[in-house]
Amino acid sequence: MNRIDEAFNSKPIFMPYFPLGFPDLETSINIIEALAQNGADLIEVGLSFSDPLADGPVIQKATQIALENGITTAKSLSAVAELRRRGVEIPLILMGYYNPILAFGLENFICEAGSAGADGFIVPDLPIEESEEFARAGRICREQQDHADESLPLIRMLAPTTPSERMEKIAGGAQGFIYLVSVTGVTGARKSVADGLASLIERVREHTSIPVCVGFGIGTPEQAQEVAANADGVIVGSACVRNIGESEKPVEAAQEFAKCFHAALQEAKHSQ
């Protein structure tokens, strides 16, 4: 059983997002380590890009700062390896846009990510129709490293606007978990959980048996609890970045943030 499957042995799980290089590289590594040690079950590790189309202003600002600080794909992969050396054992999913990955080289990126200790990828601007090259590079990498049975999944994303026929196409062959976008638009915390989310999750479950995790718009432990009543995982991005980034002691803020959301989801777990 891989790390992603193991994480979902105790659902619902807490899945924060944080970009490497913000507010600087060393601090971001310490922040991600703190999240892992204080209740995160899986972390989406952000790879910065100059044109993050799916992200709202909080994450855009953070990744821009990371780029100004000199973050690169190579440095990000080295940071993942450092997190593993420090004993971080939970799944680390690399979340980034396709252009920097292509520039790095698909096979090189996937092979080096696997060697560093990454568990999978989220590429918001890579539709399923154009993902075969990514999948082929992954197969070549596994063959070269004699890991034919150990795939690093490309996590699929679904949205409220996804038609049923397309949802079947995307979810039917998905691996790891489904990233379900709860609202239309870009990332960012909202005042309330999206109407109709429970029925949307049920619609997705008609097409897949793998875990369904909800992101976009979740900003408080109370909202996380509400989402966790139906979802297998709760993804918190903008609120995590904002809360930690605004603190004078970001590592301590990360510890408290993780503890609060972990406690909320533990309460949701026991009430189910």
Residues serving a catalytic function are 44, 55
CB 181 within 8 A of CB 157: yes
Q: How many CB atoms lie within 10 A of CB 120?
A: 24
Handedness of CA 48, 50, 55, 56 (dihedral sign): positive
Write out the E strands in 57-100.
92-95
Q: Is 181 helix (H, G, I), strand (E, B) or coil?
A: strand
CB 217 within 8 A of CB 189: yes
What is the C-alpha separation between 11 and 265, in angstroms, rounded? 9
Gyration radius from the chain CA atoms: 17
CB 207 within 8 A of CB 168: yes
As given in the structure block, the two tokens for residue 216 are 């976009």
Pairing mode, if any, of strands 178-181 and 212-215? parallel
What is the C-alpha separation between 230 and 253, in angstroms, rounded? 28
What is the C-alpha separation between 233 and 128, in angstroms, rounded? 22
* C-alpha to C-alpha distances, 5 to 68, 208, 220, nearest whole angstrom: 36, 15, 26
